[in-house]
Chain A
Amino acid sequence: MKVERKCRIVEKTQMGDAIYMVLAVGDMVRTSGVRPGQFVHIKCGDANLLRRPISICQWAGSGDGDTLTVVFEVRGEGTAWLARRPVGHTVDVLGPLGNGFEAEGGPYLLVGGGIGVPPMLGCAGTSGGTSTAILGFRSKEKAILLDQFASDCADCLVATDDGSLGYHGFVDALVRQELEKEHHYQGVLACGPKPMLKSVAKVAAEFGVPCQISMEERMGCGVGACLVCAAPMKDGTVKHVCKDGPVFDAREVDWDA
């Protein structure tokens, strides 16, 4: 059963434009299990009625108490409220929610763009250090978690829109470059803005490599009851990002919707 928990903030660091936050979550990890790509729905003060869905970056379960790490950007009043909470304060957390990535075994090609980068670190962990990460940022200043990916992956490639770090251009070009080589990737797993996901999915399909993508949409309840986070599928049906996703098989998604 998924429950709300009061979770203490045990660590908080500014990381570029993002906030890196570690939450003490009781026995949530041991009782519910966590998959990379799942999210927690966090209550962000009384003035904001809706919870904010935030992807889980990393997790740890132990007898001393489980922890979840989230990395988020301040996008509005809710995330601004959360970013202001000091270490030691508690927040109301619902989760883990949604369907995550299938990222056991590997190796996988892990593709993250901007604030879509953090959940891919969880995939790096579950694929046992065998995967290759391709991370895209607007510029060098926006790059986050590079050391963590370097240590949890077999290889880590970076692309920036302005060329200030790594490859000058978009991540799909690096995905193509990797898949053109002789490779053993079991799949491409991606999280980021929709145009990025669309172009990555296109490249993966060209090479016949399975592709899972994590989608973003404005949410209400977070559990699949209110139906606001609609994602149109290729077969004409509508799925819901919070319950059916956020991770979908790229072939199912209607990219032209």
Chain B
Amino acid sequence: MPDMTVNLAGIALKNPVVVASGTFGFGREYSRFYDLGELGGICAKGLTLHPHTGNPAPRIAETPMGILNSVGLENPGVDAFIAEELPFLRQFDTKVIANISGNTPEEYGVMCEKLSAAGVDLIEVNISCPNVKAGGLAYGTRPELAAEVTEEAKKHAGDVPVMVKLSPNVTDITEIARAAEGAGADALSLINTMRGMRVDVNTRRPVLKMNTGGLSGPAVLPVAVRMVWEVAQAVSLPILGMGGVAKGEDAAQLMLAGACAVAVGTALFADPFAPLHVRDGLKEIAACQGLEAVSELTGGIRPW
């Protein structure tokens, strides 16, 4: 049987399958289905410095092989996470990845300091949120803004590695990836959701109350594979690949394109056991190909 352990920015994961931020809450709900120690890691629900109630409903719309969401970072704030949720997650033999969003670089810094002191395994920096100071421009869409946030996070994260989560809503994702690498990021995760919209033709209203939302699910998998492949060639950082992973083969595609590990998100909504099925499918693929370790898949693509 192939060795399933992988290394992500110096963190040893027991298997390459983690769950994506925003799809798994803080683990409590799915812990009723299986031992969370089965997972390689858990990206917790995105945190902000202060509590957020999120956007008005409807916050979800189904689309061809995908979903749109506009939850809007509903979360109890970083302090409540540290006090109430982190001790719960720490009971399980799995890596805990905190995901953070800020309105200013300083907010990212403060959150990193708190999370580093509290002891998480990895900090995932969401740069898809708007920069209040830069007039609401998303950090993830400008290399210089992405670099500024990455630098600030690194400065305050102590020994905890920093992984920057890239948005696909850009012309050239490698530009942002290079900027994050240059600013000291330890890893990259991609892709976040793609902006989309669905309209109810009878009411002529968008289904989402926020009009637009983020697309995820199998529909985005090919975009994720392409972007992981491009980024893997542009930087030498480890990559957590995500976007529409629902089975072992999807995960293997992302790994071959260059990812060290993969995250499962939207697939959870149809099947709470999806991450375990992806892990088992990945193991089977590695075994069938006679690999000694699943990590041999990473970057193993043979492009034409």
Chain A: residues with CB nearer than 8 A to chain B? 1-4, 43, 47-51, 78, 94, 217-232, 236-238, 243, 257
* A217 in contact with B58 (CB, 8 Å): yes
Q: Is the interface of B mostly helix, strand, loop or mixed?
A: loop
Residues of B within 8 A of A228 (CB): 57-60, 69, 71
* A224 in contact with B25 (CB, 8 Å): yes
- Asked if B120 lies at the interface with its beta carbon under 8 angstroms from chain A, I say no
Residues of A within 8 A of B271 (CB): 4
Distance A78 CA – B60 CA, assembled complex (angstroms): 15
Distance A221 CA – B27 CA, assembled complex (angstroms): 13
Known: A49-B66, A227-B45, A230-B74. A220 touches B60 (CB 8 A): yes
Partner of A50, one of B24, B53, B270: B270
Residues of A within 8 A of B22 (CB): 226-227
Nearest-Cβ distance from residue B270 to partner chain A, whole angstroms: 6
Given contacts A217-B57, A237-B53, 17 further A-B contacts (CB under 8 A): A1-B32, A49-B66, A49-B217, A49-B266, A51-B269, A218-B58, A218-B60, A220-B69, A221-B23, A223-B30, A223-B32, A225-B24, A225-B268, A227-B54, A228-B59, A228-B60, A232-B53
Residues of B within 8 A of A217 (CB): 57-58
Chain B: residues with CB nearer than 8 A to chain A? 22-25, 28-30, 32-33, 45, 53-62, 65-67, 69, 71, 74, 217-218, 266, 268-273
Distance A231 CA – B65 CA, assembled complex (angstroms): 27
Distance A149 CA – B202 CA, assembled complex (angstroms): 34
A selection of 27 A-B contacts at a CB cut-off of 8 Å is A4-B272, A49-B62, A49-B65, A49-B67, A50-B67, A51-B270, A78-B62, A218-B61, A220-B60, A220-B67, A220-B269, A221-B29, A221-B272, A225-B268, A226-B22, A226-B23, A226-B25, A227-B54, A227-B59, A227-B71, A228-B57, A228-B71, A229-B59, A230-B71, A232-B56, A237-B53, A257-B56
* B74 in contact with A48 (CB, 8 Å): no
Q: Who on chain B is nearest to A78 by CB? A: B62
User: Lowest 5 CB-CB distances: which A-B pairs, in order?
Assistant: A225-B25, A228-B60, A228-B59, A223-B29, A225-B29
Instruction: Give the total number of A-B pairs whose CB atoms are below 8 A apart.
Output: 102
Residues of A within 8 A of B268 (CB): 221, 225-226
* B53 in contact with A229 (CB, 8 Å): no
Nearest-Cβ distance from residue B76 to partner chain A, whole angstroms: 10
Residues of B within 8 A of A43 (CB): 270
Known: A220-B67, A223-B29, A228-B69. A49 touches B57 (CB 8 A): no
Partner of A230, one of B45, B59, B66: B59
Distance A238 CA – B266 CA, assembled complex (angstroms): 22
Q: Who on chain A is nearest to B218 by CB? A: A49
* A231 in contact with B53 (CB, 8 Å): no
Distance A220 CA – B272 CA, assembled complex (angstroms): 12
Distance A218 CA – B74 CA, assembled complex (angstroms): 16
